[in-house]
Amino acid sequence: MRAGFIGAGKVGFSLGKYLAEGGTVLSGYYSKSLKSSQEAAAFTGSRYYETLAEIVNDSDTLFITVPDGYISEIWDDMRSLPIEDKTICHCSGSIPSTVFFNAEERGAYRYSIHPLYAVSSKYASYQELAKAYFAIEGSPARLDEMRQHFEKLGNRVGIISPEVKTIYHAAAVMVSNQMIALADIGAQLLHQCGFEKEDAERALAPLILGNAQALTSAGPESALTGPCERADDQTVAAHLKALAAASSDTEILQSYRILSKRLVQIAERKNPNRDYRKLKKELEQ
C-alpha cells in the first residue's frame, strides 16, 4: 500500500501518522490549505502535493479525510482522473462507501474505514489508534485485503454493510458524545449543590474513569451498581422528586427516567431472581 491523504485535519494527521509508524508507505498529503498539507507531511515524514491529480497519480490507496459534507465534492473532482485500480477510502462514521457511486465503473474500489475512537488531537491521537476497533465496508474485491492490513497493525476489525452505517454511527455517538452530555448534566447538578464548576468536573472524573474501566473490562452487567441494580425504589423515587423540584430543565428528569429504565433491563439480566416490579412502577409514574 502506498497511501495518500486528501485532507489534513485531525483524522488525516492521526491516521497517516499511525499508518506510517506501522510501516505503511505514505505518498503524502493534499489539502486546500497548503500550510495544513505541509504540516501533515512534515509530521508523517512524507511530502505535500499542490494538486489533486499529482497525489492521485502517486498513490495506490487514497484516504479522503475531509469533513463529511465535502466527501462527495472531492469525489466529483477525483472520478474524472485516472483512478483505475486505485483504492478509494473515506473515514466518515456516518456516510457509506456508496458515496463513491460509480467507483467500480471507473475500475476503482471504494471503502469506508472508520476507527471507533474520538480523534481529538492532530499530534497525539495517533498514539491511541492501536486500541481502536475499525469498522470497514465497501467493494468485495479488496475487502479482505483492507481488513488484513489493519489487523496486521494490531487492530480489531469488523466488516459491516453500507445499509447499517447510520445505525452504526448512532451507536458510536451515543457511547461517545452523549456520555459527554451526561457528564455535563452531572456537573450541573453538583454546581447546584455548591460545587464550583471546575471542582464538580474534577470530582466526577474518577467516577467516570472507574466506571468506564469496569464497563470495558467486565461488561455492562458486571459493571452495574447503584439503586437500579439493587431494586432500591425508594432512593430512585427520592431522586425523581428532587430533580423535579431542583431544576426547571425537564429534560434532565426525563433523561434520568429513561436511562433508569434501561438500567433496570440490565439489572434484570444480572439478577434474574430479584424483584424489580416496584422500581418499574416508580419509573412509569
Average pLDDT value for residue range 258-272: 97
Q: Are residues 72 and 27 in the same domain?
A: yes
Q: Are residues 27 and 94 in the same domain?
A: yes
Residue 285: DSSP 8-state: -
Q: How far is CA 119 from the centre of its chain?
A: 8
The total number of structural domains in the chain stands at 2
Confidence of residue 23 (pLDDT cuts 50, 70, 90): very high
Q: Are residues 267 and 213 in the same domain?
A: yes
Is the predicted pLDDT of residue 20 greater than 80, yes or no? yes
- In tens, the pLDDT along 216-247 reads 999 999 999 999 999 999 999 999 999 998 86
Handedness of CA 188, 191, 197, 201 (dihedral sign): negative
Task: Give residue for cell 512524507.
Answer: 46
Question: Would residue 28 count as lying in a domain?
Answer: yes
Q: What is the pLDDT of residue 247?
A: 67
Q: Are residues 18 and 159 in the same domain?
A: yes
Q: Which domain holds residue 103?
A: 2-163
The last residue of one of the domains, among 95, 129, 163, is 163
Q: How far is CA 57 from the centre of its chain?
A: 31
- In tens, the pLDDT along 147-168 reads 999 999 999 999 999 999 999 9
Question: Would residue 169 count as lying in a domain?
Answer: no
